[in-house]
Structure 1
Amino acid sequence: MTEPVASRGLGGLLASAALARAFTLTVFGTVFSAVAIERTAGRVTYATIVAGLCVVAIGMLAARRREISLVRLVPTTLVLFVGWAGASVFWSTDATRSLWSWVALAGLALLAVTIGHVRDTLQTVRALGDVMRVLLSVSLALEVLSGILLDLPLRFLGIQGNIAQFGPVQGIFGTRNLLGFAAVLALITFLVEYRTQSVRPGVSLFSVVLGGVLAVLSDSPTVVVLATAVAVAAGALAIVRRASPHQRTPLQWVLGAVLVVGLIAGYAARHPIIAWLGAGSDFSTRAGLWANILTYVRVHPVQGWGWFGPWTPSEVPFIVINFRAGETHASALNAYFDVLLQLGWIGLVLFLALAGFAFVRSWLVASERRSIIYAWTPLILVALLVDSMFESFTLWGFGWLLLVLCAVRAGQSRSWRERMELPEDDPELPHVNPGP
């Protein structure tokens, strides 16, 4: 008979499945609600919550230390990227700000690593689905309250009250682009929930409709691109999964070649595509901003200007870039340009390695294993990497949390670490027994 958690003391509580579930829900709820928390209670409140969760995370990992293999704890590429960002403190234009920005980066990475080791993929999907149902429902309710019932903007939350004009809406996420991004991630999660039958059909239908409605009402140009990219990736993955084992390798190469050709064709036809999306002004703004960024990349091409995460408007080079652009930007509106500016070419190579290895590993795992649950990781990565071409959300907040979580999940299933495990270890099973 299993010993009650209460009788096992603090160690038993920290290692319990109940705390692991509560921890996962709290982390997702906090990080996805970051904008709302900061605007209603202040940034210090949000930072305090995250710091408290990090303390709990360290305790949970310590309590499960016998169950977790040290070599499988963190992907090497993640260690190198976060380590390089930390090293940039020594050449940053503002060492103090860079240090705290790095602490925020490492703190969210710690939370993601912990979730990756105390919850399996299905449990992670269920937790994220539960959180997103609540947050999207709250967003829709507040938009209806602001735009229809009160007909007044809720400025403290950034809600403009445009739902009666069918958007754009922001919900509790602060901007339409961030809401659209969150809605696409939620839709992937809801559809995987439906395919795995992990929630009731009525709940799945409500969730998908809710996510789809808010994605459309966000009126974000990137939503169309993200939805198309994820749909194409899902179709390609379905084809590979249905192929026989000896056909998969050549089929993967063919799909890779099609991807390269598609990217080249998309770049060649970028102007008609942008015109069709009605995003000409947005792209023009981004193109001008990127041209200014490249000017400052040439000053420190290898190491960058130092890690700041979201831009600090008063710091060099951000203040000069914004002055030349004639606008105030909080990021490079492109994760790859942001990494290049802040961490140089070394940082960009490490970031691409982190995301690239995670995607390839998760794609191969999803191609080979029967359960559809394994498709969640590569599809989330597709959304993150495609969105990174238009926004820098993947470098902080819930985008960074999910990127690290997906990298940890992919590294558990297919990496050089498997060759270091004992022969009786079964790579098909989660390395840790996370409980119900």
Structure 2
Amino acid sequence: MTDGGTTRRIRARRYLSAWIGFSAGGRFSQALATTIVLFAFGEPTVRVLVGPAGTWSVLVTLAVLAGLSLLGQRYRIEWHGVLPLSLLVFVGYCALSVLWSEYSWVALRGLTATVGFVGLGLYLALGRDLVQVIRACGDAFRILLVVSLGLEVLSGLVLDLPIPALGIRGDIAFGGPIQGIGGTRNFMGFIAVTALVTFVVEFLTRSVARWRAVASMGGAVVTLMLVQSPITGLATIALAGTALALWTLRHARPSVRPLLDGVLATLVVAAGVVLVVTRARVLPRIGAAGGTTTRLELWEQIRTFIEQKPIQGWGWVGTWPSEPVVPFVTFIDPSGARFTSGLDAAVDAWLQVGLAGMLLLLGAGLLAFARSWVTATTFPGVAYVWPAAVLVLLGVTSLAESYLLHGAGLMLFVTVLVVAARRRSWRVRLPRLEERPHP
């Protein structure tokens, strides 16, 4: 029996070694990266099709495969000074919040999901180079947009019946709004505008055939027009301004760039102040007045709970739980349904992990943006425009949604955070452990 057990262990090790070697291959890694992006952005539809248990199974499976793939690539991956301390500190603080949470089991489950999506984001950033990440995102977004538009056409034009389980109402026959696989028009708009950024960078880097890039951009633009999301509209305007600023800075002389950066920062601050002062006139013009009223009422309710635990928060959960736990059970929208997020990443983070956690998240985001912006404006590779543009998109969207704190938004945030740190982290300049002189 001992010999038989030893033989089985040897075989198991050989199978595991063979699988690790296979998972480290380029084709498998790229296919896995595409599948990860597909799952993250299609999670609402996955949850409807296979339920919470099935969704957890997919997340765990992808995380395990990503871990094995990284293990197989461990000698090729540059780990020195890459993992951002700001990200590690924030995730660590979220983990600590489980200890003082009044709903420990729900908080532990939320933390597990957060760690899972953080792990998937790390795999994209470490297991693939930036161009490969963009290609994986581009392939995934093409599938998501085609499926979404196909379901909307099936519902609104062919069957003339809604698909309530997926949140599709079939309004494409009237020009929208459409929900696609996102479940809501805002999340579908988030998918479409992220896809548009990705397709443009694919076109500029010539990562795909010209006809495919142009057709993909056309599909993303059509989807953006059909979702009719005011939040996505503001994000698109911000991205257009970002594109103009990046083009100007990349073609400016190095000696002039600091001055241009200062002018741009002043313009952004001034535009923000004007938008806040004139919001009563601007928001109705873009169709966002009703949504803003709902958000203001929700934030006022959240404020009363923040005041009870302003520093440490109530405990990290990521996506708000469906269980009747305080304080999340008390937040009801005008239709009588419960809110699933705080509809603002900063407010949501403040509620969950307090002022300390919210400042850690804000600091991580600002540091990542500064790094990615400098890289995008000084590094010759056009692909490095993508992280900066994605961070602008996440930042603008986070003013009205909490996508940054969970799921695809969190995964994308972690990916660009690590990509930005790879070029600009101060720890890269520290000597490696094996290079340090012995005492």
- Residue identity in the other structure for 1:376: W
In 2, the alpha carbon distance for the partners of 1:243 and 1:46 equals 48
1:65 aligns with 2:59: no
In 2, the alpha carbon distance for the partners of 1:184 and 1:14 equals 31
- CA-CA distance at 1:64 after TM superposition: 2.5
- Residue identity in the other structure for 1:165: F
- CA-CA distance at 1:250 after TM superposition: 2.1
In 2, the alpha carbon distance for the partners of 1:203 and 1:37 equals 27
Kindly report which structure 2 residues correspond to 1:34-433, keeping only aligned pairs within 5 A, or say none: 34-313=43-322, 314-322=324-332, 328-420=338-430
- Residue identity in the other structure for 2:249: V
In 2, the alpha carbon distance for the partners of 1:172 and 1:288 equals 28
- Count of equivalent residues: 417
Deviations 1:136-180 (A, max 9, x none): 001101100000110001122111111101111111111111001
Deviations 1:196-215 (A, max 9, x none): 12111211121111111111
Is residue 288–residue 325 contact of structure 1 (8 Å, CA) maintained in 2?
no
In 2, the alpha carbon distance for the partners of 1:327 and 1:141 equals 29
Which residue of the partner structure matches residue 437 of structure 2? none
Is residue 289–residue 325 contact of structure 1 (8 Å, CA) maintained in 2?
no
- CA-CA distance at 1:409 after TM superposition: 0.4
In 2, the alpha carbon distance for the partners of 1:98 and 1:76 equals 23
In 1, the alpha carbon distance for the partners of 2:382 and 2:355 equals 37
- CA-CA distance at 1:325 after TM superposition: 9.9
Q: Please report the RMSD computed on the Cα atoms of aligned residues, expressed in angstroms.
A: 1.8
Is residue 305–residue 343 contact of structure 1 (8 Å, CA) maintained in 2?
yes
In 1, the alpha carbon distance for the partners of 2:49 and 2:116 equals 22
Deviates more, 1:126-135 or 1:198-207: 198-207
In 2, the alpha carbon distance for the partners of 1:323 and 1:46 equals 26
Is residue 125–residue 193 contact of structure 1 (8 Å, CA) maintained in 2?
yes
Q: Secondary structure at the match of 2:369?
A: helix
- CA-CA distance at 1:300 after TM superposition: 0.2
Q: Secondary structure at the match of 2:338?
A: coil
Deviations 1:214-246 (A, max 9, x none): 111111111110100011111111111111111
- Residue identity in the other structure for 1:357: L
In 1, the alpha carbon distance for the partners of 2:132 and 2:321 equals 37
Distance 1:126 1:70, change over 3 A: closer
Q: Secondary structure at the match of 2:331?
A: helix
Is residue 73–residue 113 contact of structure 1 (8 Å, CA) maintained in 2?
no
In 2, the alpha carbon distance for the partners of 1:326 and 1:31 equals 28
Q: Which one has a bigger Cα radius of gyration?
A: 2
**Structure 2 alignment gaps of length 5 or more:** 1-14, 433-439
Identity %: 37
Distance 1:305 1:127, change over 3 A: same
Q: Secondary structure at the match of 2:372?
A: helix
Distance 1:251 1:384, change over 3 A: same
Q: Secondary structure at the match of 1:322?
A: coil
- CA-CA distance at 1:389 after TM superposition: 0.3
**Structure 1 alignment gaps of length 5 or more:** 1-5, 423-436
TM-score (norm 1): 0.92
In 1, the alpha carbon distance for the partners of 2:177 and 2:334 equals 28
- CA-CA distance at 1:324 after TM superposition: 10
In 2, the alpha carbon distance for the partners of 1:322 and 1:154 equals 24
- CA-CA distance at 1:408 after TM superposition: 0.6
In 2, the alpha carbon distance for the partners of 1:325 and 1:346 equals 33
- CA-CA distance at 1:20 after TM superposition: 1.4
Which residue of the partner structure matches residue 4 of structure 2? none
Distance 1:242 1:401, change over 3 A: same
- CA-CA distance at 1:73 after TM superposition: 4.4
Is residue 143–residue 161 contact of structure 1 (8 Å, CA) maintained in 2?
yes
1:27 to 29, 36, 51: 36
- CA-CA distance at 1:67 after TM superposition: 2.9
In 2, the alpha carbon distance for the partners of 1:323 and 1:275 equals 20
In 1, the alpha carbon distance for the partners of 2:83 and 2:115 equals 12
Is residue 81–residue 426 contact of structure 2 (8 Å, CA) maintained in 1?
no
- Residue identity in the other structure for 1:336: A
In 2, the alpha carbon distance for the partners of 1:309 and 1:73 equals 25
TM-score (norm 2): 0.92
In 2, the alpha carbon distance for the partners of 1:219 and 1:278 equals 9
Is residue 28–residue 128 contact of structure 1 (8 Å, CA) maintained in 2?
yes
Distance 1:398 1:414, change over 3 A: same
Is residue 307–residue 342 contact of structure 1 (8 Å, CA) maintained in 2?
yes
In 2, the alpha carbon distance for the partners of 1:157 and 1:85 equals 31
- CA-CA distance at 1:181 after TM superposition: 0.8
